């Protein structure tokens, strides 16, 4: 597979983030020694329980915060000012309520100085192609959670980013809608580059089957401090479809990721604590 010209590589080298003491609280080592890489066009996932530092890593990569240790390379270069180097989808869709669907999608183009008219002309075919054409003039509140998330995803891809950061994009959705959107993301990602493979993606999630379905590689994180406990290659062939979930290989990989998570948590004492609570029960 030829490397797409526009997808960029991502590399995290021994990333650490310490938040200073504040208001009597001790300083917090949020993440420590995180190594992660994604080749151009790869889809990699950070998975872990809540509070394991996934979102911290995520904000560091996005450039919203700076690591206290280590180096983040995008496109092979250490990049201190990373704002704008990736397209970012926050946990909640962050659609602006005062902008129509199409104007939410065009936001990244407008901020680059593209006129509103030209930006709309670029967005309309994209909306049509991904089943949102009839909603382009709607206000965000008129859409369901799943539809809002699709709009937010189109806003993420419209600037033709080399690197996309998705922070639990489907975490707030019910499981049926979530599965639907995972399939939709697979299709969108593979077709957004007009035949070229899609951009490099870093996904943060706590959903095991989502991680396996979408990723080329899964990084398992454990908390306090957040670090990488295991790395699992997902060798499932592409294109993947909803049926991929039925494959034995898929189920086996799900089990592998789950075991890796359990092992990491047990080593950390989380499971023994939970067992202790069960023993204390009736």
Residues in contact with another protein, shown as a per-residue x/- string from 141 to 160 under the rule CB under 8 A? x-------------------
**Count of residues touching another protein (by CB under 8 A):** 25
Q: Which residue has the tokens 């450039």?
A: 63
The whole-angstrom separation of Cα 42 and Cα 37 is 9
**Residue 64 tokens, joined:** 């919203």
- When asked if residue 192 is in the footprint of another protein (CB under 8 A), the reply is no
Answer yes or no whether residue 64 interacts with another protein by CB under 8 A: yes
Taking the C-alpha atoms of residue 238 and residue 221, their distance in angstroms, rounded to an integer, is: 25
- DSSP character for 218? E
Letter string b/e over residues 39-62, b meaning 16 or more CB atoms within 10 A of that residue's CB:
ebbbbbbbbbeeebbbbbbbbbbb
Is residue 97 involved in binding another protein (CB under 8 A)? yes
How many beta carbons lie within 10 A of that of residue 271, not counting itself? 14
Out of 4, 33, 49, 84, the only residue in the binding site for another protein (CB under 8 A) is 84
Of the candidate residues 67, 90, 162, 169, the single one contacting another protein (CB under 8 A): 90
Considering only 25-33, 97-105, 201-209, 222-230, which stretch makes contact with another protein by CB under 8 A?
A: 97-105
Q: Does 267 bind another protein (CB under 8 A)?
A: no
Conformational region of residue 139, where left means phi above 0, alpha means psi within -120 to 50, and beta covers everything else? beta
Give the binding range for another protein (CB under 8 A) out of 28-36, 49-57, 106-114, 119-127: 106-114
63 binds another protein (CB under 8 A): yes
| Site residues for another protein per CB under 8 A | 59, 62-64, 83-84, 86-88, 90-92, 94, 96-100, 107-108, 111-112, 139-141
């Amino acid at each position: 597979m030829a490397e797409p010209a526009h997808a960029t590589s991502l590399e995290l080298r021994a990333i650490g983030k310490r938040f200073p003491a504040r208001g009597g609280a001790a300083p917090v080592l949020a993440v420590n020694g995180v190594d992660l890489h994604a080749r151009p066009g790869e889809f990699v996932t950070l998975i872990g329980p809540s509070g394991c530092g996934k979102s911290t890593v995520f904000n560091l990569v996005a450039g919203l915060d700076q690591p206290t240790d280590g180096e983040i390379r995008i496109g092979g270069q250490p990049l201190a000012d990373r704002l704008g180097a990736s397209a970012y989808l926050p946990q909640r869709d962050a659609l602006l309520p005062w902008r129509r669907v199409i104007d939410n999608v065009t936001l990244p183009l407008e901020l680059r100085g593209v006129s509103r008219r030209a930006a709309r002309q670029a967005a309309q075919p994209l909306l049509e192609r991904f089943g949102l054409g009839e909603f382009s003039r709607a206000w965000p509140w008129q859409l369901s959670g799943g539809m809002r998330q699709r709009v937010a995803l189109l806003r993420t891809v419209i600037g033709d980013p080399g690197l996309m950061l998705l922070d639990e994009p489907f975490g707030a959705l019910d499981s049926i809608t979530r599965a639907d959107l995972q399939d939709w993301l697979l299709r969108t990602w593979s077709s957004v580059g007009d035949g070229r493979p899609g951009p490099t993606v870093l996904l943060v999630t706590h959903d095991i089957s989502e991680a396996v379905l979408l990723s080329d590689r899964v990084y398992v994180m454990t908390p306090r401090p957040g670090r990488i406990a295991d790395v699992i290659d997902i060798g499932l062939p592409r294109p993947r479809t909803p049926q991929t979930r039925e494959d034995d290989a898929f189920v086996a990989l799900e089990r592998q990721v789950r075991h890796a998570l359990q092992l990491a948590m047990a080593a950390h004492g989380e499971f023994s604590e939970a067992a202790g609570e069960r023993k204390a029960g009736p």
